[in-house]
Amino acid sequence: MECSALQQARYKYQPKLPVILRGDINNISLRLGSPTTSVADAEALADIFKQNFGKPVAQFVPGKNSKTSRKLTVGVILSGGQAPGGHNVIAGLYDGLKKGNADSELLGFRGGPSGLLENRALELSGAIIDEYRNTGGFDIIGSGRTKIETDEQFAAALATARKRGLDAVVIIGGDDSNTNAALLAEYFLAQGSSIQVIGCPKTIDGDLKNEHIEASFGFDTAVKTYSELIGNIERDAASARKYWHFIKLMGRSASHIALECALQTQPNICLISEEVEAKKMSLALIVDDICASISKRAENKDNFGVVLIPEGLIEFIPEMKKLINELNDSMAENAGEFSLITNFIDQIYWLDLHISKESADIFKSLPPEIGAQLLADRDPHGNVQVSRIDTEKLLVGMVQKRLGDLEKAGAYSGKFSGLAHFFGYEGRCAFPSNFDADYCYSLGFSAFVLIASGLTGYISSVRNLAESADKWIPCGVPLTMMMNLERRHGSSKPVIKKALVELDGEPFKAFAGKRAEWSVKTSFLFPGAIQYYGPPEVCDQPAKTLKLEHSAREKQAPAR
């Protein structure tokens, strides 16, 4: 295969491991803690997960472990959207298996969970693995978004696992995928099968984290990629001095990406969806706040700037959230009737009869192209696809109109020219940063140890990530420990709780303490491209939010 010089060099990079994973594979034992509970809804979840609920956290400790050298056959699945480092999870899992027993086998199920259901698998050899080490993407076996949720699907998964002679299945995915892993582990045990299921935490959105999962893999690389692009735009803005750049950043439910990019690049404005919802900020108020910054900068002849916008912002604005919920419900309840209406004007008349007057008035006030996007095809959950809504363009248009009104009133005399951008797919398959390359390899290696030790219904975890890799702490966390119940499709479903930006957390407070200054004074930072070779303080640094969160935990920890 022809490849670039950087790709060839990255193949040879040896990821760093925590100390306990570096030595004799037969000298890694597990220490099990006390029984655990869930984030919420413990009684109901205990009833759903009769086999797995309450399992203890598994700490890795030195000690003889004869199980790690047995021959194993393991299947691995990539589930959901891509995230940098997925290949290294598979490489770490493969190397752990082969270090334990050279005859162990790793099968990669093609195309995500559907590969398990349809028995489409590839035996992953050393030669195949070596072509993907330390590279981005999920192309080694592909991914998919199929959910294993029906009785027939669970039965098909077990049939394939038995036919392939699997000892375990590793599911690499986000909160929904790991919820699926927990349900699969429960089903296997309920059917009398000893086939284990282990999860790995993946999502660039950063919302799969908690007390035991400090970061989801891919987040570090994605935010560094986006921050490079934002810094480049900031440099251009400061050079041209005539454009305001409105940049939407991937992250549907949480604003972790936007917050981290703000800390890395210091834009003039960064909107945080969770704050918008907490303060019940209307769309008009958001526009007024942006215009206030533009006006103040214009007084200093700074008719340029940068605004960061989380992808999911529109669903956190109270009146827009109400509108979207009403649209989702009415379109779902009358799907057949609505599908027959293809003309946008006729759709507006139809909405007048099916949603509240308040929501209908808001809908009519939006630019037609935004209205059409709100009415576009729903995702598999019946929700609007926010990535397809041009929130950045909506804000540019509304800000321009508001500034025009202010100019007519003599309250604004600057020059405004807005440009819109959306950074999403650019970060999902980038070459993983050293942090993600190391972290993912450690997650995969740790998944092997959990499998070899006989555990099921766990997620591979590596903690203490703000320190150097040798000080990282691998462990296994029961998947049920992170769960609660949520309403999905009209009924309560077990799901891993998403982590949103905490407005009383150290990362947000650090941002909030500086944003008033950034909104007026040009304070841009230019992170530059991800560096792979050089001093650790340049190449191996974790995200700023991770370091701030770690520092806060250190302060709160009781003295030893």
Going from the N-terminus, what domains does the chain have, and what CATH number goes with each? 18-217+432-496 (3.40.50.450), 219-311+390-429+499-560 (3.40.50.460), 314-386 (1.10.10.480)
Q: For residue range 484-535, what is the model confidence (pLDDT) as tens digits?
A: 999 776 678 999 999 999 999 999 999 999 999 999 999 999 999 999 999 9
User: With bands split at pLDDT 50, 70 and 90, how would you rate the model's confidence at 378?
Assistant: confident
Could you tell me whether strands 269-270 and 121-123 are parallel, antiparallel, or unpaired per DSSP bridges? unpaired
- DSSP structure string for 26-69: GGEEEEE-S----SS-HHHHHHH-TTTTTPPPEEEEES--GGGG
What pLDDT sits at residue 558? Answer: 64
Looking at residue 430, its amino acid is A
Residue with structure tokens 């907490």? Answer: 278
Cα(123)–Cα(133) distance, integer angstroms: 16
What pLDDT sits at residue 17? Answer: 98
Write out the catalytic residue numbers: 205
Q: For residue range 173-202, what is the model confidence (pLDDT) as tens digits?
A: 999 999 999 999 999 999 999 999 999 999
What share of the chain has pLDDT > 70, as a percent?
Answer: 98
Looking at residue 77, its amino acid is I
User: With bands split at pLDDT 50, 70 and 90, how would you rate the model's confidence at 381?
Assistant: low
User: With bands split at pLDDT 50, 70 and 90, how would you rate the model's confidence at 383?
Assistant: confident
Q: For residue range 539-557, what is the model confidence (pLDDT) as tens digits?
A: 999 999 999 999 998 888 7
User: With bands split at pLDDT 50, 70 and 90, how would you rate the model's confidence at 332?
Assistant: confident
Provide the angle, in degrees to the nearest 10, between the axes of the packed helices 544-556 and 256-265.
100
List Cβ neighbours of 78 (8 Å cut-off, separation of 6 or more): 86, 112, 138, 140, 141, 142, 143, 172, 173
Between 121-135, 387-401, 406-420, 479-493, the lowest mean confidence (pLDDT) is in: 479-493
List Cβ neighbours of 518 (8 Å cut-off, separation of 6 or more): 266, 267, 268, 269
Maximum separation of any 2 CA atoms in the chain, in Å: 80
Whether pTM exceeds 0.85: yes
Element (H, E) at 488: strand 483-488
Mean pLDDT in residue range 312-323: 94
User: With bands split at pLDDT 50, 70 and 90, how would you rate the model's confidence at 388?
Assistant: confident
Q: For residue range 11-70, what is the model confidence (pLDDT) as tens digits?
A: 999 999 999 999 899 999 999 999 999 999 999 999 999 999 999 999 999 999 999 999
Cα Rg of the chain (Å, integer)? 25
Residue with structure tokens 């989801």? Answer: 216
Q: For residue range 226-275, what is the model confidence (pLDDT) as tens digits?
A: 999 999 999 999 999 999 999 999 988 899 999 999 999 999 999 999 99
User: Average model confidence (pLDDT) for the chain?
Assistant: 95
Mean pLDDT in residue range 455-477: 98
What pLDDT sits at residue 560? Answer: 46
